[in-house]
Structure 1
Amino acid sequence: MQKIFLQTALVIAFGSGIFSTTYAQVGIGTQMPDASAQLDIVSTTKGLLVPRMTTAQRTAVANPADGLLVYDTDSKHFWFYAGGSGWGKLDNEPFTLPYSATQSSTPGLMTITNQANGYAASFKVDQAVSTSAAVRGEVNSQFANFGAAGIYGIASGSVGQAGAFHASNPAGDGNGVVSIVEGTGDAVIAQAKQTGHAIYAAHTNAGNAINATISGAASGKVAFFGNTATNNTNNIVEINTQGKGNAFLANHRGTAGNIAVFQTAGTSVARIDRAGKGYFNDGTQNSGADLAEAFEVTDNIASYEPGDVLAIATEKDRTVEKSAGAYSTLVLGVYATKPGVLLTDQPVNVEMIDRVPMGVVGVIPTKVCTDGGAIHRGDLLVTSSRPGVAMKADPGQVKPGQVIGKALQNYSGDGVGKINVFVNVK
């Protein structure tokens, strides 16, 4: 390798228009340039003076090369040029706190990468009376592009959270996340592009998983659920409970309005008013087959069962008992198996465990016997001498108020059986 020693100065002469280049290591102030250096300058009294220029001159340099180094006389800093990143300042100021800096850099001003199992950065405000944040992010932009955010988190692994917040003090009363929007935008937007939930809320104690309220003079809705996918056949809202409480509770505490209104294409078709009365445009359809009313009984309610013929009790008002005696005019109805409509004088939240549903109109499975002869479809039925059991009536003996109803099935068996009867006491 050729080495050129220059003790004081190196002069390259150009003559007759001929330019020559020599490839060599150059040493200034040393006869032994470092093997790793193309230019080795050694001095204990002088330094290397790079080009000095103003900020305007520096930024006006045409097509600066990667690694170009200059001294900016305006900012009093060394600046280097990096292709793709632009000019960067070599800061000769020590990093002290509090620290503040302003710079323009498209790919970002700071990147910290930790390849071990630890934090890339950790910030803490350790002051019991502090009202400041450990980390504050702010973006000043007129665009709502994805990523234009005060804080932007990315989970690029196979699991991991893009953002996680933990209020770790069990005795504390702080919130996990607070979102406030002063403008017209949404406070929270959640979107799931695969099969996960857009929002998943769980509570492991006595609070609510979700608590939404409208306060003050606000005029908006507490919640709005909509389906804009016209071919989506799934339920808009689905409530599922495995506990023992109500699946749904609507509590109207206002002075006007309905508990519920149901619409089709914007037209109300059903509603339940504040008093609990239901209104249905096209009627109702129930799975039961009779109209019944809840009545108290004189004896132990456990001794009664569906199909019992019931009569007015003479010892207590608004009470029934099993019929006793043939052709009784006290007969009132039949213990209903599955009433379609159940009437009662009790509030809806009272469980009528001490009352029986007495069917008065409709098809009801009824206890019968053949004491009055074999029963055929269409026969009139009256009470028999067997408690709570009906029998075929003799039309010649029937008086007003004795007929329970008409048989819808034949019966000729021994003892007591059950057949469907159209109950309509006359």
Structure 2
Amino acid sequence: MSSSITAGTPLKVGAIVASSQLWEVPSQVTFRLFDSATAVNPVTSQAFDAGLWFSGGQFLAGKTVRVSASFTNTDDLDMSKPLWLETVIDGTLIGSRQELVAEAPPVVDISVENFIEARSGGFIFPDNTVQTTAGITTETDPNLAAHAANASAHHAPYTDAGAVAAIKAADGPGSGLDADLLDGQHASAFASAAHNHNADYVNVTGDTMTGKLIVNPASGTAADFHGYVEVRNSAGNSTVSINPVFGRIAFNDVDGHTRVYVAGNAGNGGRINLSNASNIVTARLKGDDSDGASFITLTDSAGTATIKIDAQEASGDGAEITMYNTGGTRTIQIDSDSGTQGGYIQLYDSAGNATITLDGETGGDGRITTQELAITGGSDFSEQFDINSPVTPVEAGMLVSIDPQNPGKLIPSNEPYDRKVAGIVSGAGGVKPGMMMGQSGTIADGEYPVALTGRVYALVDTREGGEIRPGDLLTTSSVPGHAMKATNAEKRSGAIIGKAMTSLKEGKGLVLVLVSLQ
């Protein structure tokens, strides 16, 4: 891009569009400028009403159409560096990204085949040259007089009486010039403006109609816009248009910009488009996304797709929902039917790399896969156990030991330095389990969460081991479910439940314990 063009200066941009790329009359064209050939986000963009180029369906008459405009959103551009242009029509990228070069801009003057456009003061021809009326000369045919003489000789001029006689003769026997055979019908067959029509008629001057309106399209290859119905407001802008050939209806705002577009024949099935105030299509509903299933696309205010909902991801598969960030990168995918037939959720980072996977069916089990797991609801690692305690009620903070009479189950501890000590019932002092494990329906399951590691409050009695201070090793005592300070070095091996993290000077109470069986 030449450095002689400064930021803020309007830049003329454009592209050549083949009519084969446009299977319907578009509503909006967007030009996007990028600072590299592979950049994801545009530096700036600008949308234009497609009616500037495609009004009346002219693009159907030839092979190509030039769409160009004065691009004014250039305030943030560094015009001393290369720029690339993308052309998007109704949300569809046309062609490939082109580099803008001041000496050879991508605007190519190719107009609709065999089309001459009238301009004020002259004409513009297919080669894009302009001829002013001042440069147009006229020539007189030297044989004009002879042609006129031949025309006169072909039939002598009618007299007044002769003209009336000829009309009467053509009107049929007995005609009194009463139009009794107009189009083969008597005048009484044609409704007047004062008539209240109950048949297939419409009076544009405000007459009432209780019947129906039928618009029949013409036959033939050039009937694309025959039978076209349009409703305009007082400003002359089209607010509703119906195309019966393609089965399409457009609802426009007061300025004529399409806001709701309904197509009964849009490729494979029906389609509904919704546009925002900037003429950008922000929602699309397709009745058939080439696989017979419906498809919904939602975009942000710039027209970038942020949510896609597919009722059938592929033939034989279930639904899929995909979400994208503002740069167009997929960040969330929800699949109702993964390769294992179960539900599937995938989360991605900003670069599109999968970081969290929730698989509803992996070898018959659910699975969560991630690099890092943060748990904020609790602070200990617990397993579920059944606890036999016929005398002492089970409560949070109790020390429990292995029950030698019932494999896989526990009992409240009740002897000093018990090497069968297994853990502490979690939940005392308001500190909950952070993670609980167990297998339902097996011996590795139970009613109570027992902390095997982590931080948990424990019931303590100082009457046997004395005052407890942070760092003291704790073991079981003779008081059921209560811990004491382990003072006997010989007995405490294999009977330690963990280390005290808080103190208790005397009596019974709760002490925070860092569980570490040893």
TM-score after normalising by structure 2: 0.42
Bigger radius of gyration among the two: 1
Which structure features the higher share of strand residues? 2
Which structure features the higher share of helix residues? 2
TM-score after normalising by structure 1: 0.49
